[in-house]
């Protein structure tokens, strides 16, 4: 396959073909370097397979970042390549300010190529603090501290009250997360 690619590149770049103009609608102004070296080592926050067999990706965000939507699209592509399945993706936002990041890309280039991508974003600051505090799962209880509408002192008091009542090992684990 590589020899085939080399031959085609030679035909298009060196010898020339009218197919370039037919495909692109104009003559090339310059041939660009097609090598896309990567020195980064991207890591998605959480990727797991559900009992249903579906792949799920959860990403955490602590501030509004307009470029996050593009990283999520990169993750989608990389995870699809690695696992052979498109994951469901959710961004969990836990910033101080309300969530303002775009959750959708919809672009049409001059040639009519269309890119549409959307990801679910959940602002943990908007979750119901009472529901979290009433949960049997201590992780839910701890997450109640992120709620922006509840009284922080009251919420903190309720969280600590729940942590104190845990078994010693669970209490230590909860305190490390805290």
Enumerate long-range contacts of 51-56, CB under 8 Å, 24 or more apart: 54/85, 54/87, 54/88, 55/79, 55/83, 55/85, 55/86, 55/87, 55/88, 56/87, 56/88, 56/89, 56/90
- The reported pLDDT for the residue numbered 146 is 87
Confidence of residue 103 (pLDDT cuts 50, 70, 90): very high
- The reported pLDDT for the residue numbered 33 is 67
Tens-digit pLDDT profile for residues 20-56: 666 666 777 776 666 666 667 788 999 999 999 999 9
- The reported pLDDT for the residue numbered 28 is 72
Work out the average pLDDT over 56-61. 94
């Amino acid at each position: 396959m590589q020899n085939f690619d080399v031959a085609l590149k030679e035909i298009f770049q060196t010898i020339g073909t009218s197919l370039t103009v037919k495909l692109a609608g104009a003559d090339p102004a310059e041939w660009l370097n097609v090598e896309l070296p990567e020195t980064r080592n991207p890591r998605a926050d959480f990727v797991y397979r559900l009992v249903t067999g579906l792949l799920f990706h959860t990403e955490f965000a602590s501030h509004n970042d307009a470029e996050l939507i593009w990283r999520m699209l990169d993750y989608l592509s990389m995870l699809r390549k690695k696992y052979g399945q498109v994951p469901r993706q959710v961004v969990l936002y836990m910033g101080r300010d309300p969530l303002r990041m775009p959750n959708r890309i919809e672009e049409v280039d001059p040639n009519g190529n269309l890119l549409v991508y959307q990801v679910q974003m959940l602002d943990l600051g908007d979750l119901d603090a009472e529901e979290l505090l009433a949960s049997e799962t201590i992780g839910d209880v701890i997450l109640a501290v992120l709620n922006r509408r509840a009284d922080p002192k009251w919420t903190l008091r309720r969280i600590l009250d729940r942590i104190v009542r845990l078994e010693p090992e669970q209490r230590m684990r909860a305190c490390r997360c805290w």
